[in-house]
Amino acid sequence: MDKIITKDMNIGILGGTFNPVHCGHLNMANVALRSGLVSCVAFLPLSLAPHKNNDYIADKEDRYNMLILATKDNPQITVWRDEIDRKGYTYTIDTLRILINKYPNNKLTYIIGTDTLLVLDKWKEIGEIFKLCGFLVIYRPGSDISKVLLKIKEYEDGYGAHISMIKEDGYKAASSAIRVSLINGDNTENLLPSSVYQYILEHNLYGVKND
């Protein structure tokens, strides 16, 4: 068992490709922790994302290593390898079934932004997912709050979903835009943890050269 996980903890799960992990991802984790609705946060990097098969994605070990660097100073955050160690495409429903067997005495809460909430019904076996875990939605700047609340009610009425929302603004950032900034040599000081930026330089990721 993960050393930061204890019995009866509510584990917040933050999944994604993290290509690369950036300050927006870390902000989501910290907002969730400050809310008190989760006791810890586990970052869950994907190996292969079924919805991003045409995007450039850095090697899974590089993405994992950057997550370790970005979260190493926060004792309430851990990084899990459950998805990157599986072959082929990974789906949340399959991962949740594995995690429930692995952490039978813990509650699982999936952390998402409002943009993801609006397309959650496109996830594989979403009805089963709602039975296995709750969701914590963090408001993304620019989202239509009326649409968000309507969607939450739709999931609750249609699937019996358990969804909480934090109205504290999330950090508006996107990995795709950050990758463009890196290639263009733009300043990413406020977008990436310094340890992650140094790792990108040292390993020549995303077309960035360490001159």
Among residues 57, 89, 70, the alpha carbon closest in space to that of 25 is found at 70
> What is the per-residue pLDDT for 184?
85
Instruction: Please indicate whether residue 210 or residue 97 has the higher confidence score (pLDDT).
Output: 97
Average pLDDT over every residue of 81-88:
91
Look at 6-15, 164-173, 193-202 and tell me which has the smallest mean pLDDT: 164-173
pLDDT digits (tens, 9 = 90+) for 120-148: 999 999 999 999 999 999 988 788 999 99
Alpha carbon distances (Å) from 76 to 71, 168, 193: 9, 20, 17
Confidence of residue 50 (pLDDT cuts 50, 70, 90): low
Among residues 33, 44, 45, 43, the alpha carbon closest in space to that of 9 is found at 33
> What is the per-residue pLDDT for 171?
62
For 96, residues 6+ apart whose C-beta sits below 8 A from its C-beta are: 108, 129, 132, 133
For 27, residues 6+ apart whose C-beta sits below 8 A from its C-beta are: 170, 171
Spatial distance between the Cα atoms of 7 and 87, rounded to a whole number of angstroms? 30
In this predicted structure, the answer to whether residue 160 has a pLDDT above a threshold of 70 is yes
> What is the per-residue pLDDT for 162?
98
> What is the per-residue pLDDT for 51?
61
> What is the per-residue pLDDT for 196?
96
In this predicted structure, the answer to whether residue 54 has a pLDDT above a threshold of 60 is no
> What is the per-residue pLDDT for 211?
60
Confidence of residue 52 (pLDDT cuts 50, 70, 90): low
In this predicted structure, the answer to whether residue 68 has a pLDDT above a threshold of 80 is yes
Q: Transcribe the chain into DSSP letters.
A: --TT--TT-EEEEEEE--TT--HHHHHHHHHHHHHTS-SEEEEEE-SB-TT-TTS----HHHHHHHHHHHHTT-TTEEE--TTTTSSSB--HHHHHHHHHHH-TTSEEEEEEEHHHHTTGGGSTTHHHHHHH-EEEEEPPTT--HHHHHHHHHHHHHHH---EEEE-SPPP---HHHHHHHHHHT---TTTS-HHHHHHHHHTTGGG----
> What is the per-residue pLDDT for 88?
82
Q: Characterize 71-104 residue by residue with b for buried, 16 or more Cβ atoms within 10 angstroms of its Cβ, and e for exposed.
A: beeeeebbbbebbbebeeebbbeebbeebeeebe
Q: Domains in the chain, start-ordered, CATH in brackets?
A: 10-173 (3.40.50.620)
In this predicted structure, the answer to whether residue 73 has a pLDDT above a threshold of 80 is yes
